[in-house]
Amino acid sequence: MQNPIIVALDVPSTQKALKLAEELAPVVGAFKIGKQLFVNGGPDVVRKLRGVGAKTFLDLKFHDIPNTVARAVQASTDLGVDMLTVHASGGSEMLAAAENAGHEQAAMLRSEPPLILGVTVLTSMDDANLAELGIDESAQDRVLRLAKLAAGAGLRGLVCSPQEISLIRGELGDGIQLVTPGIRPESSDAGDQKRTMTPAEAMKAGANWLVIGRPITGAKSPKAAAVEILNSINPELVPESERPLPEAVDCSECGQSIKLDKNEQLSGKYHCPYCEKEIVHKR
């Protein structure tokens, strides 16, 4: 099983993104660069994140005439992104042009084509918002229609809410990669996400990748938060060097036995009351 966590780097600067990425790279699967970070940092932010040794997901949701989208996908492939998004509502010609451009450019570069993900209906849209646009289908019917359109045009992946996973899997089977935002660990605040699932629930429902932003980036220790999530999905995914410490350890500085709280277990950092030092535990 791959590490399914994609961290949404919704931060305003390359510097902040890199600091988070360097900390998190050992315990997450990929980083998502959205419009805010890309407009601020430009393509260089992608190059630098790749430099950290991380997979990158460029979430710019392309939607334009087929030729323009194909060129944008070509440029993203040159940049070496592993995943990118397009709006499925751009239609089958646009979707096929995007998928072909990714394959053609990757063949030329002798690299892997990016996984192009179709965005169906934004989760901020409900039936009333669709009606406003003259669309009298329900949001759910539209999600399915667009999912089928994207798969029919050759796309190998979709972005969907966790609630839509079983609907889409039922229609399109197991071959399609499903990437889901709207993930909230039990202990964290839902914020502006309304219909959420925990990481373990979403994986059980059939997600391949989980997009997680604030529960990780806004945590006191982003790395400890990511390790806790990974541990809840499958403890074997946590690299040995990052596994939570037991409840009691011998201080790696003075050897005295001390009890750790949950945060200390996850972060591997504690204050030793015997030697009065801030310890990063040596395993």
Residues that bind ligand C5P (CB under 6 A): 8, 10, 34, 122-123, 159, 181-182, 191, 193, 211-215
Q: Which residues are CB-contacts of 38 (< 8 A; sequence separation ≥ 6)?
A: 45, 46, 58, 60
Residue among 115 and 211 whose Cβ is closer to ligand C5P = 211
Closest CA to 198 of 239, 233, 158: 233
Residue type, 103: H
Shortest Å, Cβ 60 to ligand C5P = 11
198, 184 contact by CB (below 8 A): yes
Q: Which residues are CB-contacts of 107 (< 8 A; sequence separation ≥ 6)?
A: 113
Query: Which residue is at the shortest CB distance from ligand C5P?
Result: 213
Shortest Å, Cβ 169 to ligand C5P = 18
Residue 52 has a CB neighbour count (10 Å cut-off) of: 16
Residue among 57 and 270 whose Cβ is closer to ligand C5P = 57
Active site residues: 61
Shortest Å, Cβ 248 to ligand C5P = 34
Q: Taking the C-alpha atoms of 164, 57, 121 and 157 in order, what is their torsion angle to the nearest 10 degrees?
A: -60
Residue among 219 and 279 whose Cβ is closer to ligand C5P = 219
Residue among 209 and 270 whose Cβ is closer to ligand C5P = 209
Shortest Å, Cβ 243 to ligand C5P = 24
